[in-house]
Structure 1
Amino acid sequence: MKLNFFPFNMFGDLTRFAARMTKAARINMQRSIRLQLIFTFSVCVAATMLTYSISNSFLRQFNQTATIQYNTSDIENTGRELADFIRWNDRTAQDLQEYINEPRFGDQYKIMFIDPEGRVIFKNSKVTETQVDVHSLVRNAMDRSNYGVWTKGKEVTSFYPVEVQGQKGYMVISGVPEPYLSYYYSDSSLAMFAAAAAFIFLFYWMTKRKMRYIEELAQGLMEISRGNLNYRVEQRSKDELGTLASHINHMTEELQRTIEEERRAERTKNELITNVSHDLRTPLTLIMGYLRLLKDKNFENEQQAETYMNIAFSKSEKLKGLIDDLFDYTKLSNHDIRMHQEKVCLNELLEQLSEELVGYAEENELKLRRILPPEKLMVTIDADKMIRVFENLLTNAVKYSLKPGVVTVAMTRENDHVRVCVTNFGDPIAKEELPKLFDRFYRVDASRSSASGGTGLGLAIAKSIVDAHNGEIWAESEESEIRFCVKLKLA
């Protein structure tokens, strides 16, 4: 099996991999202030080191110190050369004498060959001694200053053990090292100052935009704290500061919404007090009026007295109904009513309820039509509360329908939900009025006369019950066709 190697493909893969890693690193850095600070600090440290290196290399030439040193390498090299000449060339004493008498040696160094007892066997012209103390020679040869630095005039001695024509001894070389001038450069404190200044400037410049953004967030919080809830901070980044800006805006929106809800609740409370006072006062005034007539016996006969009594009783029932509705709505709004939910067949519940209201519809010259699927659709509900919802929708449909006419109850399945719609034909309702129908005490008719409708709490109570079942309720209007729909989740 032949394998083809494509270096360009490998280079392309490595390039694409490097591009992906670079892109991922850039994205992660954009999302993390910690990584941004690490990158900023690394860049500042690298710039600081570069600044120090450049500035110190320029400034240190002004901080040079000259010292005199002595080079001993020539003496040691010469001694090693003589030892090798004897060791590898098997020279005679005469050859060695001629070699050490060469001008290049004689003019600079003292060279001699001594036996183990210190007697000088042969030497060059600069040597005057005939006997040498070997012990002192070794001690003086090893007595060197640190780092090879010699004082002027001090003689350096180097010796090597050799054998010349079978005679063992030492080749000794002595001389004064040549002095030379050496310069030492010390680091400049100005370079350290320049490096520190570069770090501070670069770090300040690279973090300036972030610090300005933090100041903007702080100013935004101050503006919001003054009560300007319409103020929004700008989200300029994807990191933690951007997340903070988003949370500040969300907090402001929630605070604004809460305050508006509190104001709306205050207005609603005032409207509630006004409306309740109006709706309670009207029947109560009539009750008190007819009871006063009965108390003062201001009637012509017993039949008229009974009529007054019936009217007062009817208004008392209506007053009780208003108080009950108000009490139920308040409890539902505050979630004080516990729902006793159970699995119920919604087909059978609607069939039974509509059958009970057939007579009421016929009394109002209406026909009640039911469109229910053959499939039994089960829902988990509080049956008594849900009966009240559909009963309210059906009685409203009968009450506000054009006579004669038809009221339709239709139920359809929508995936895992069931929708029930009550349809009737009546006066058209503007689209902007439809959501307000579920507000308490709201009537499409501007008149607040109880004769034109009920208490104004029926649809508000229905919505509270449906919401408690996690369902939906809404109204639709197309010309004179009006629909109220309820959507519940199937069990």
Structure 2
Amino acid sequence: MRANIAIRMAWRLVWQIIMSSVLAVATCYLCLIILERMTRGDAGSRSFLISVYRVFGQTPIMLFGCFVLFVVYMVLLNWRRYSYYDQLSHSVEHLAKGNFDDVVPVKQNNELTVLSENMNLLVEELKRSLDEERRTEQTKNELITNVSHDLRTPLTSIIGYLGLIEQDRYRDEVELRYYVQIAYAKAERLRGLIHDLFEYTRMRHDAVPLNEKSFNLVEMMNQLLVHHRLALENAKMTGKLITNASELIIMGDPDKLVRVFENLLSNAITYGYAGGKVEIYLNLHNEAAVVDIVNYGEAIPSAALPHLFDRFYRVDKSRTENSGGSGLGLAIAKGFVERHGGTISVTSDVDGTNFRVRLPLS
């Protein structure tokens, strides 16, 4: 690009020099012809014109006149460019004051056009960087606010119940054990929040290594249902794996993917208990394993679906507080799935809520 611009500028300069020289010489000779024709006029003005013609026709004067005309023509040929320089200067000065919504005018078809286009690209990139910085600052502020709120709630309960114990404000040992049990449960919730927060932060910065190996996804889902059998029974629900494959070999980190499916299954049990069952569909489609975890409880509002995988987003804040969720589980699940080259999505209506995970086969 730089070589092309330099060549264009050189050719343009050569062309302007040639054109200005030709026009200057042609103008001088035209003036001489006009003067020579005018000397043939009436006798009153002929003597004056003859003297002018003789002076102007001398070689040094002729050369000086050609040089003056050459300079004039060079200025005229570059006048549009000089005015464009002035516009560019004012535009850059305007942008330097922070008016990034304006653009540098793109005119003509020369090296200044390329400069203007590059300056506009620079302004667009600067605007994008500033917007990204603002979003990052907003995200940081939201993160601090949400973390402060989520950590403060269980911590307040812990301090409150331990304060009652420290002040001997309990009737008997049964009430004492009840206070200790509540403080312990809140401490467990606090530890879970801190663990999720650190894991989400590490995942965002790709600091969580993947210990990849080949494993059978069908076997993993069967084991997952076995491990959650008690939780399903307590919620008066049934769990079922529906698949037409005996094995689907995946290359990935089984510990990270187990956490993904545990989170989805736990959410299905917690929020879909009214439907009475959870169904896991596992199939092969276009060289990928597709896992659908479906519950038949209350539908998720359509306005909440696009934000469901955002960190700290909660459809029902009070319900999530009671169930001990951190608001980071789905965001972490999405991060782990995408690091395995897969996708995760959700659909929800009156017929059921379906979380779909798509993972490439080994």
| TM surpasses 0.5 | yes
Q: What is the percentage of aligned positions where both structures have the same residue?
A: 35
Structure 2 matches for 1:257-336, cutoff 5 A? 257-336=128-207
Q: Match for 2:22: what amino acid? A: L
User: Which structure is higher in helix share?
Assistant: 2
Out of 315-324 and 371-380, give the one that drifted further: 371-380
Q: Hey, what's the Cα distance between the residues in 2 that align with 1:251 and 1:214?
A: 18
Q: Hey, what's the Cα distance between the residues in 1 that align with 2:300 and 2:80?
A: 56
Q: Hey, what's the Cα distance between the residues in 1 that align with 2:31 and 2:111?
A: 44
Structure 2 matches for 1:429-468, cutoff 5 A? 429-447=300-318, 450-451=321-322, 454-468=325-339
2:14 pairs with 1:47: no
Q: Hey, what's the Cα distance between the residues in 1 that align with 2:110 and 2:350?
A: 53
CA displacement at 1:455 relative to structure 2? 1.3
CA displacement at 1:206 relative to structure 2? 4.5
Q: Secondary structure of the residue that 2:308 maps to in structure 1?
A: helix
Structure 2 matches for 1:146-225, cutoff 5 A? 188-189=59-60, 191-193=62-64, 195-197=66-68, 199-225=70-96
For normalisation by structure 2, the TM-score amounts to 0.77
Q: Secondary structure of the residue that 1:369 maps to in structure 2?
A: strand
Q: Match for 1:232: what amino acid? A: V
1:262-314 CA distance string (max 9 Å, x none): 33333333333332232222222222333333334433333333222222222
Q: Match for 2:360: what amino acid? A: K
Q: Hey, what's the Cα distance between the residues in 2 that align with 1:404 and 1:448?
A: 17
Q: Match for 2:234: what amino acid? A: E
Which residue is equivalent to 1:100?
Answer: none
2:348 pairs with 1:487: no
Contact 2:24-2:70 within 8 A present in 1 as well: no
Q: Hey, what's the Cα distance between the residues in 1 that align with 2:348 and 2:207?
A: 33
Aligned residues: 342
Q: Hey, what's the Cα distance between the residues in 2 that align with 1:372 and 1:353?
A: 15
Contact 2:281-2:293 within 8 A present in 1 as well: yes
Contact 1:406-1:425 within 8 A present in 2 as well: yes
2:9 pairs with 1:37: yes
> Gaps spanning 5+ residues in structure 2: where?
37-55
- RMSD of aligned alpha carbons: 3.7
Quickly say closer, same or farther: Cα 1:248–1:49, change in 2 above 3 A. closer
Structure 2 matches for 1:473-484, cutoff 5 A? 473-479=344-350, 481-484=352-355
**Structure number with larger C-alpha Rg:** 1
Out of 223-232 and 446-455, give the one that drifted further: 446-455
Structure 2 matches for 1:384-395, cutoff 5 A? 384-395=255-266
Structure 2 matches for 1:102-181, cutoff 5 A? none
User: Which structure is higher in strand share?
Assistant: 1
1:66-125 CA distance string (max 9 Å, x none): xxxxxxxxxxxxxxxxxxxxxxxxxxxxxxxxxxxxxxxxxxxxxxxxxxxxxxxxxxxx
Quickly say closer, same or farther: Cα 1:265–1:186, change in 2 above 3 A. closer
2:221 to 342, 350, 374: 350
Which residue is equivalent to 1:120?
Answer: none
Structure 2 matches for 1:234-249, cutoff 5 A? 234-236=105-107, 241-249=112-120
Q: Hey, what's the Cα distance between the residues in 1 that align with 2:262 and 2:201?
A: 20
